[in-house]
Amino acid sequence: MTTGAPGVYTVGDLAEAAGVSAQTIREWERRGHLVAGRTAGGQRRFDETARSEARRLAAARRRSGHTAAAAPLPDDAVELARTGARIRAARLKAGLSQNEAAARIGVSRSFLSTVERGQSGVSVHVLATMADVFGIPMGEFSPQPAPTAVLHPDERPRTVLAGGVTWEELVTPGRAVEPALLHVPGGQSSGGRVTRPGETFVFVLDGSLRLEVEGTAEPITLTAGDALLVEAATAYAWSNPGRSAARCLWVEEVPRARGRTAGR
């Protein structure tokens, strides 16, 4: 191995361990089958879980006699696969089996399995519950770029959830606030109520968003140019009642007393 550190592997290390090319390892990562961490300099580094998964994928590939490159996947399918792989990695890091995790999250084991394989997305409500069960901030379900003050559009960590709901993080992790762009296709929703430990600021850029906020008698409908502040520890749910996609600036406060524990 080239890294010299136990349990920390490069693309070349995984390729050597699995008996495949580095290009194959990169393709498996692109599809979300393998999840890489990043060094301070931005280089990929894989852990023991990724090394074992690479070996498993290579063995399955050899059994099937498959040697040709796989056909490209649609972008959303790739993102779902990546999100599923990060959910699986978080579950394993928490030391939970699929059965244990599913029971605590409140979903079936078969559903969790399809999510981890990238065959199904989850709602924001379910993702927030997963974060609580695994003991991590929701931001950890997004790709983790190297820390930087400037985040260009093509560098934004992007997470695709059920129904094509998409988060684009606007800063790298570890900040006092977590701003993001929320894209909500027509008819989609948060999938249930969410409660965050800090304040949440919503500004609608395009389309409309309907929010049900705890303590408010009537639902609140925001259209382009409208803003709303949700108090900390207040349950809320949102949906896009229109046919057109909604796009919002979504900013969440990260209470310093709890560290980086806020998420969507």
Domains of the chain and any CATH numbers: 11-64 (1.10.1660.10), 75-139 (1.10.260.40), 145-258 (2.60.120.10)
First-to-last alpha carbon distance for the chain, in angstroms, is: 38
Specify the pLDDT at position 223: 96
In the sheet that holds 236-239, the strands lie side by side as 220-223, 208-213, 236-239
Q: What are the pLDDT tens digits along the chain (264 aa)?
A: 344 455 678 888 888 888 887 778 877 776 667 777 766 666 678 888 888 888 888 887 777 665 444 444 455 677 788 888 889 888 998 999 999 999 999 989 888 988 888 888 888 888 888 988 998 877 778 776 666 778 788 888 888 888 889 988 888 766 778 899 999 999 999 999 888 878 999 999 999 999 999 999 999 999 999 999 999 889 999 999 988 999 999 998 877 534 433 345
CB 251 within 8 A of CB 200: yes
Q: Find the helix or strand (DSSP H, E) in which 223 lies.
A: strand 220-223
CB 159 within 8 A of CB 167: yes
